[in-house]
Chain A
Amino acid sequence: MAGGGSFAPPALCRKPREAAISHSPSAIVTHSSSSPAPAVSFVNVSRHFGEVKAVDGVSLDINDGEFFSLLGPSGSGKTTCLRLVAGFEQPTAGSIQLHGEEVANLPPYERDVNTVFQDYALFPHMTVGENVAYGLMIKKVPKPERDKRLGEMLELVRLPGLAGRRPSQLSGGQRQRVALARALINHPRVLLLDEPLGALDLKLRQQMQIELKAIQRQVRITFVFVTHDQEEALTMSDRLAVFNLGKIEQIGSPAEVYEHPATAFVAGFVGVSNLIRGEIAQAITGSAQTFSIRPEKIQLRDLGQPVSGDEYSVEGRIRDVIYLGMHTRYLVELSGGSDLTVVEQNLRTTSMDVLAARGRAVRLVWQKAHVRPVGN
């Protein structure tokens, strides 16, 4: 069990550009020696709703103190997994353990986990203070102690002085913080977050990502974070699991998952990937094995320019140019008819330059080392 993910440490941060993408270079989490059992452990867990296999044979270990994300499109089973940990759902088959204790048949109120809900689920008939202190009130913690911890929590989520307000008087971002405080005040051993930032606007979301990460470091609680936003998962997680159709496609650090996608699905879902298969793959690499190449790894060169031995290349015509300010996305049509996406930073080019490139014949070149053969 120790170590959780048995993935070899990847070669990290080979290029400065990659470092900008994965903020979390500490890829493999070194588990703390005090707690040998994983915080959360799924062994062959399934949850079926009639014919629908929402979760289908999932095995997973989440280490103590880890920030772990469950990433996947809607309907992939990630939220059901979270609800299985919380106890809102019971598994159809398999074993779920929290710190080594079997919990598959324990109700939510007997599990040492707390949840931040997607819709925040704040009690509308209570004040902010009553909401946050709800768990302590249920546990019959004496009032002075309750008030003390309430004050600390509101301080932690930077909402001091709002204890008397009603949830309906708060903004979306403030409600989100109240929901977080209400869960954290109980000092759970695992905190479950179900797309907690989904309802916030982009700026606020990015700010909350940083804050959540800081809070996690401060309280040292295992965070299990459900999201469909791959950028969010890459930014925040120590490790993540990519879900598709009720199964886990890959578990690993953000850098691993981004740079070594295990399947075509992961390559397509985490970041943008060009998948090249069949005859075109044959023509480029000499093998019909499908491979993926990231748009930012591809260079655009003029037709005449040389190609070195450690590079692959293919010719095409720029079909469309999308100017995005910081960078430009080119859609390049290959002779075989399929499109490749290429992203280049606008280091020296202006919008006039890049838009003029439409229709131009080009040579696409990338390092052989950046090619990832993918299964499926």
Chain B
Amino acid sequence: MATSSPTRKSLWHRLSTFFYLRPGLTLAAMLAAPLLWLGVVYVGSLFALLLQSFFRLDDFTGQVVRRFTLYTYSQLFTAANIDIMIRTSGMAAAVTLACALVAFPVAYYMARHAEGRAKAALYLAVLLPLWSSYLVRVYAWKLILAKEGIVSWFISQLRLDWALDRILQLPVIGGPSLSVSMLGMWLVFVYVWLPYMILPIQAALERVPQSLIDASGDLGARPAETFRKVILPLAFPGVVAGSIFTFSLTLGDFIIPGTIGNSSYFLGQAVLSHQGTAGNVPMAAALTAVPMVIMAVYLIIAKKLGAFEAL
């Protein structure tokens, strides 16, 4: 072999050995860039944003007054803003619940039954929608749900128009047609965020060894009991992870509420209009803090419920 004598190793060799013998330095070199990115760009910008929320907008000059004040936060609690918060959180909760209910069976099938090609096909089917533009898909849904759209047509073919009309007459969730109702918005939210719920649940279920399920049956538990006592608790961290996605994505979204629904305001839209047209960056920043607080409360509740005990 053509390896040189130990005294005359190449620079590359010596560099490798240098780092191999200093694992701490290797780790520092590896993490420096991502930590810089996370620390400065992510946390730093978030901090800058939150700092803005403690300033206020001078109503006369339209200038931001750079002095510490809780005035902007106090402005959060107007009736209109509270309305927006409740509407957005309610939608986020409904979307999360529906996503979990739809995603669990799909994820269960992917994790515990599908094999080989079927599994690959399912992965593709779940991820494929994410490859196309989100905006295009939302507009497509606007047409699908429109009064003359395919959903209405299909329902009338089934002679069920009366049922749809009855549902659309309901307060809050109803409207002139599906595409301008909360119900329609909810459907589109569930469609758009579903992959973010399926994948973490599937990953969690895949980590549950078959022997645990066998053991539960062996100890006398019927499948329903095994599901409740073993599978669900062990998959729950996955459900929580997925719900963090669906919940927070719904809280921040402004495209779906702006495209589909009855033009009542959502948090994302409020942030957009305050920092854009109104130039009220402090108010936009304060509104951004709202979903963060909601998520923090949500995670504390999840932890109290024991969601992370199986991790």
CB neighbours of B222 from chain A (8 A): 109
Q: Which of A114, A121, A183, A186 contacts B212 (CB 8 A)?
A: A121
Q: Are B219 and A135 in contact (CB under 8 A)?
A: yes
The interface residues of chain A lying within 8 Å CB-to-CB of B212 are: 121, 123
A119 touches B219 (CB 8 A): no
Chain B nearest CB from A117 CB (Å) reads 5
> Which residues of chain A are near B209, meaning CB under 8 Å?
119, 121
B216 within 8 A of A: yes
Contacts of A121 in B (CB 8 A): 209, 211-212, 214-215
Q: What's the minimum C-beta distance from A88 to chain B, rounded to whole angstroms?
A: 5
Asked if B234 is an interface residue, CB under 8 A from chain A, the answer is: yes
Cβ of A107 within 8 Å of any chain B Cβ, yes or no, is yes
User: Considering the complex, which residues of chain A in the window 183-218 have a beta carbon less than 8 Å from any beta carbon of chain B?
Assistant: 183, 186
- The reply to whether B218 and A138 contact each other, CB–CB distance below 8 Å, is no
Indicate whether A15 reaches chain B with its CB closer than 8 angstroms: no
| Residue B144 interfacial (CB < 8 Å) | no
Task: Tell me, yes or no, whether A69 is within 8 Å of chain B by CB.
Answer: no
Given A124-B234, A124-B310, A125-B309, also A117-B220 (CB < 8 A): no
Residue in B214, B219, B234 whose beta carbon sits within 8 Å of that of A125 in the complex: B234
B214 adjacent to A138 (CB under 8 Å): no
Residues in A with CB closer than 8 Å to B221 are 109, 134, 138
A182 at the interface (CB under 8 A from B): yes
Is B220 in contact with A107, judged by CB distance below 8 angstroms?
Answer: no
A124 vs B216: C-alpha distance when bound (angstroms): 13
| Consensus secondary structure, chain B interface | helix
Question: Interface size of A by Cβ–Cβ distance < 8 Å?
Answer: 23
Are the CB atoms of B234 and A139 closer together than 8 Å?
A: no
Decide if A119 touches B211 in the complex (CB within 8 Å): yes
CB–CB B217/A108 < 8 A: yes
Q: Would you give the 0/1 interface string for A119-156, flagging 1 where the beta carbon is closer than 8 Å to chain B?
A: 10101110000000011001100000000000000000
Which residues of the other chain, A, contact B225 by a CB distance below 8 angstroms?
Answer: 138
Q: Does A86 contact B (CB under 8 A)?
A: yes
Interface residues on B, range: 10 to 19
A115 at the B interface (CB under 8 A): yes
Interface status of B149 (Cβ within 8 A of chain A) = no
Chain B residues, Cβ within 8 Å of A124: 234, 310
C-alpha spacing A187/B222, complex, angstroms: 19
Q: Closest approach, in angstroms, between the C-beta of A101 and any C-beta of chain B?
A: 17
Cα–Cα, bound, A115→B218 (Å): 7
Residues in chain B near residue A119, CB distance under 8 A: 209, 211
Chain B nearest CB, measured from A118 CB (Å): 8
Q: Which one, A86, A125, A139, contacts B218 given CB within 8 A?
A: A86
> What chain B residues lie within 8 Å of A107 (beta carbons)?
217
Contacts of B211 in A (CB 8 A): 117-119, 121
Q: Given A109-B221, A123-B230, A125-B309, are A134 and B216 also a contact pair (CB < 8 Å)?
A: yes
A117 vs B229: C-alpha distance in the bound complex, in angstroms?
19
Chain B residues 213 to 250 lying within 8 A of chain A, measured CB to CB, are 214-222, 225, 229-230, 233-234
Contact of A186 among B215, B216, B220, B234 (CB under 8 A): B220
- Distance of A258 Cα from B221 Cα, bound (Å): 41
Which residues of the other chain, A, contact B230 by a CB distance below 8 angstroms?
Answer: 123
Interchain CB contact under 8 A, A138 and B233: no
B310 touches A117 (CB 8 A): no
Q: Chain B: residues with CB nearer than 8 A to chain A? A: 209, 211-212, 214-222, 225, 229-230, 233-234, 309-310
12 interchain pairs (CB within 8 A)? Answer: A86-B214, A86-B218, A87-B218, A88-B217, A108-B214, A109-B220, A109-B221, A123-B230, A125-B234, A139-B220, A182-B215, A186-B219
5 other contacts beyond A115-B218, A135-B219, with CB at 8 A cut-off? A87-B217, A113-B218, A114-B218, A118-B211, A123-B212
